[in-house]
Amino acid sequence: MVETGVSSDLLRWIPALPLLGALVHGVGLGLLRREMPRGLVVAISCGAPIAAFAVTCLALAQILGSAGESRVLVDEVFTWIGAGRVSAEMGFSFDPLAAIMCLIVTGVGSLIHIYSIGYMDDDHRDDGGFQRFFAYLNLFLCAMLLLVLGDNLLVLFLGWEGVGLCSYLLIGFWYGDRWNAYCGMKAFVVNRIGDFGFLVGIFLLLGSLGDAATLNFVELKAALPKIVEQTISVPAWLPGPESWRLTTLIGLCFFLGACGKSAQIPLYTWLPDAMAGPTPVSALIHAATMVTAGVYMVCRMSFLYVEAPGASAVIAWTGAATALFAATMAIAQTDIKKVLAYSTISQLGYMFLAAGCGAYGAAIFHVGTHAFFKALLFLGSGAVIMAMHHEQNIDKMGGLRMRLPVTHGVFLVAVLAIAGFPPFSGFFSKDEILLSAYAADQIPGHQWLWAIGLVTAAITAFYMWRLHFRTFFGDCRADPESQRHIHEVGWVVLGPLVVLAAFSFGAGFLGLPQIYGDWLGVPDSNALANFLHGVLPHPEHEIAHATELGLAGLAIGAATLGTLVAAWMYLWSPAVPARIRAALGGVARLVENKYYVDELYDALIVHPLVAVSDKLLFRVVDAGLIDGLGANGSARAVRGLAAHVFKYGQSGLTQGYLITMVVGTLAIVVWMLR
């Protein structure tokens, strides 16, 4: 074992506490079949993430107080799997990257747990739904913390699968509706495709390292130079060079996993459907934490991607394409949560754009700011949905800013943050990503990446303001009866919103670029970048200050443009959208139907697969061969033989049996004496 940091028994408690919460609920519901009183449920399941957050803060204080190599805490709990040369420890490591992810997961997670108390309060089904919900949430938190704290690929993969499972359970939480159950299944299956790539990546890495095979990140980093020079030949029908670097192939396999978990093209289709789950779930899992697991994994494996320029370029281009593509789809959605879902996909695309350009710090920065403002957006939309009595269509909202002043205020902060207006947090993180794309001259066409990012920023501003104006401005379009019941929700729901709003506003200052720091007279203002310095590789591009400011100005200009167009269309001339829609005709229908990608996948992959599974694998192979011929067939053969042949041996005569026995015994004796 390589000694890689300061040993600390603290770390195991960070994932263990939520696990304990989930276990208590699981034993209570599953084995004792008793539902606890709601107060106790809340105390246990909200206490667990808050305690985990406190432990995380303790660990953070410990590494902030030290420097260099000792900035890492490690905790080897036990040897999980020992198989020959390779062994996987149940081990955790707490370096600055894991620290940031842990803070986000436990911090935002705790807030969402508290919010869920209010949101789930009206769930009065008698199947223990309230407690079950919190059990799943705690289990999710445990899995996510395993994912970010694991010091080797296998623990990461354990968490990776765990969050997938919890995502499935929570999307289909209201399983009484078949559609919700279907959405959960879709998310799970699409994720499995990505997981396949992840697994192949792990196997390739293990196989190619030979004697140095290991799963531990630190050891992998040390062993990587052995395989950097290796190449593999690719089939002739594939475009591009005849041989690929092995690292590129491994990197692409891992990225396929990231595509599934983080909803990138081509595996993004599950995320919009994941909105079938309760809104706190959408906020916690499908916006703030789980979907960033792919970005985290790419950053964690950054030592590999530095040696895999081809894979990095693919990541950057996939991210940029997803960002633009998803943003255009968000324009025409009318479900408040669907808009946010596509916006999440788009923002995840930004993160991968940054990671592909080598700016891993910028990617993690955006993970952090996005966690705050997107959780805020989702929880805010949840507050709107509660106030509107589970109405999610923005065509039936409007004018809510008077009735829901607090919700409106925090939502506005989030919209300003995601649209990228300074000094809200989204501006700084998005600007850093655009800057890194502009400067990433190792990637072919990097100016185009930057341009796509800029256009996406304008579209983002447009659809977010559209959502905001349609929801909170204008006249209320709900029917008069339900209008009378619209009222602000309780403070257990609004409290977390206010806290998140504060962070959505201020989190950007943690990663304040030096040029603004110079203005304000703050030395080393980019605290986040400095914190991550030793862990993540960072780009070494020198950009003139004038260029940097110019780019920032362009980004602000794009955001303003999007805002003005949205204001024009949805505030000042409400007749315009319908006219534009009519003028565009087919294109508008294409966008409204999300480019028919789901239908395409259904026709190309799902339906043929279902047909083959049903007609061939189920009816012919399973029912026909295995059941019919194998299991039932052999049983029927035995029954037939017995009924028509062997039964005549049963004469009923005692002495007939005796003779048979004597003859048989004699035969055995003769055979033995032979």
Contact positions toward other proteins, by CB under 8 A? 647-648, 650-655, 658-659, 662
State how far the alpha carbon of 673 is from the alpha carbons of 194, 363, 660, in Å. Answer: 67, 84, 20
Q: In the complex with other proteins, which residue's Cβ is closer, 43 or 666?
A: 666
CB 247 within 8 A of CB 228: yes
Q: In the complex with other proteins, which residue's Cβ is closer, 623 or 658?
A: 658
Provide the edge-to-edge strand list for the sheet that holds 6-7. 6-7, 73-83, 86-94
Cβ–Cβ contacts within 10 Å for residue 578, how many? 10
Compute φ and ψ for 36, nearest 5 degrees: -75, 160
Q: In the complex with other proteins, which residue's Cβ is closer, 58 or 661?
A: 661
Q: In the complex with other proteins, which residue's Cβ is closer, 124 or 644?
A: 644
Smallest distance from other proteins to CB 654, Å:
5
Smallest distance from other proteins to CB 640, Å:
15
Could you tell me which residues come within 8 angstroms of residue 158 by beta carbon, excluding any fewer than 6 positions away? 143, 146, 147, 150
Q: In the complex with other proteins, which residue's Cβ is closer, 546 or 645?
A: 645
Smallest distance from other proteins to CB 1, Å:
59
Smallest distance from other proteins to CB 668, Å:
15
Residue/partner pairs of 629-634 with CB below 8 Å, 24 or more apart:
none
Smallest distance from other proteins to CB 659, Å:
6
Q: In the complex with other proteins, which residue's Cβ is closer, 578 or 658?
A: 658
H helix intervals, 210-308: 217-223, 225-228, 246-261, 270-273, 279-283, 293-300, 302-305
136, 117, 108: which is closest to 52 by C-alpha? Answer: 108
Pairing of strands 243-245, 231-233: antiparallel
Q: In the complex with other proteins, which residue's Cβ is closer, 593 or 665?
A: 665
Q: In the complex with other proteins, which residue's Cβ is closer, 233 or 655?
A: 655
Smallest distance from other proteins to CB 651, Å:
6
Smallest distance from other proteins to CB 196, Å:
58
Could you tell me which residues come within 8 angstroms of residue 380 by beta carbon, excluding any fewer than 6 positions away? 407, 410, 411, 414, 497
Compute φ and ψ for 464, nearest 5 degrees: -70, -40
Q: In the complex with other proteins, which residue's Cβ is closer, 67 or 653?
A: 653
Token pair recorded at residue 525: 């203002």
Cβ–Cβ contacts within 10 Å for residue 406, how many? 17
State how far the alpha carbon of 21 is from the alpha carbons of 105, 108, 142, 394, in Å. Answer: 16, 17, 9, 37
Q: In the complex with other proteins, which residue's Cβ is closer, 233 or 654?
A: 654
CA atoms of 622 and 593, how far apart (whole Å): 37
Q: In the complex with other proteins, which residue's Cβ is closer, 65 or 649?
A: 649
CA atoms of 509 and 528, how far apart (whole Å): 9
State how far the alpha carbon of 361 is from the alpha carbons of 134, 153, 294, 357, 537, in Å. Answer: 33, 21, 15, 11, 8
Smallest distance from other proteins to CB 662, Å:
6
Please give, one letter per residue, the 3-state secondary structure of 121-177: HHCCCCCCHHHHHHHHHHHHHHHHHHHHHECEHHHHHHHHHHHHHHHHHHHCCCCCC
CB 374 within 8 A of CB 460: no
CA atoms of 339 and 336, how far apart (whole Å): 5
